[in-house]
Structure 1
Amino acid sequence: MKTTATILKEIRQHYQISQAKLAKLLNTSVRTVQHWEQADYQPSGTAVRLIQILATDDAVYTALTNLEEENTIMYLEHDDQKFTIMGVQFRNQEEYRATMNAIISNMYEGFEPTKEDVQDARRFYDEGPISAQEMLAKIRTSTNRKVE
C-alpha cells in the first residue's frame, strides 16, 4: 500500500504541478504539503478526500483548476424539501437528486444551466430522451439566441 507522501508526489508528477499549486488546490499552505510529503504528519478531513480523488480522477483536477482560475462560487438554485431546481418541480426525490447530480457534475465542466435546461431534464422523465436531431436543433436555437 502506498503512503500518503508517495501519493502526493505522484499527483504532483502526474499533473506536473508544484507543491504551491497543490497547496492552492487543497486550500492549505505550502508548508503543510511539504510536511505531508515528508511524512511528518498526515492530512485529515476534506484534504484526505480531495487527495484520494485527485489521485484517481483527472476531471477533479480540471474542475478544481477551473474553480481556482475563475474564482467564482457555483450555485444552483434548488429546494431539497420541495424537489425544485430553478423553480422546476420534480415528482419525487429520486428524479430530483438524479437531475441535481447531473447538472452539478456538468457545472464543474463550465456548464451554466438555464431554467429551460432544467425543464428539458424534467421532461426526460415523462417523455424519455430526445433524439440527436432534437438536440442539435436546441443547440442551434441556443447558439442563435446568444449571437443576436
Structure 2
Amino acid sequence: ENLIKDGVYRKWRCKSAGEQKAWVEFQLEKTSFISAVDIGNHGSAFIEILVGRSGCSDEDYKVLLNSASFMTPQECRNETNLQRVRIFKHQDLNKATQAEKWDRVRVVCTQPFNKQLQYGISFLTVHAPEEESANKTNNK
C-alpha cells in the first residue's frame, strides 16, 4: 500500500532484517501487456519480477524479468548504493511472457549478503505498449 499512494514517497521493505527472500505483489487496473519496467531499489541484492493473473496459483506465475543484480556483495556488506534505479526495456524481458496479458506483478527481492539490512524497493513503474504509443503521438 505504501508504494501506491499518490504524491507520497515511501519504500516497501521486508518485515525484518535477515530474511533471505521477500516479495510484494501489485494488482494492475486491467490485464495488460508489459513492455518495460522501471525499478527503484532499496537495499536488495537481486530483484526478479513474476507476473500472473487474478485467481491463478503461485505455480502459474511466469518470469517476466530474470533475477537482476542491483548491488554487489561488497556494496551490500558496506550498505552503499542502496537506491540504484534500473530500467528494463522490452529486449530485457522474457519474450514469451511479454506476449501475454497480465494483471498481477510480483516483485521478489533477495539479500543474501547482509543479514542486518531491512531491504526492498522504493518504486516500481510498469509500462504497457499502449502507453508508449500515446507518448510518441503526443510528442509530435
Q: Shorter-chain TM-score: what band?
A: under 0.3
Higher share of residues assigned strand: 2
Higher share of residues assigned helix: 1
TM-score where L is the length of structure 2: 0.21
TM-score where L is the length of structure 1: 0.20
Q: Which has the larger radius of gyration?
A: 1
Greater RCO, CA 8 A, separation 6+ = 2
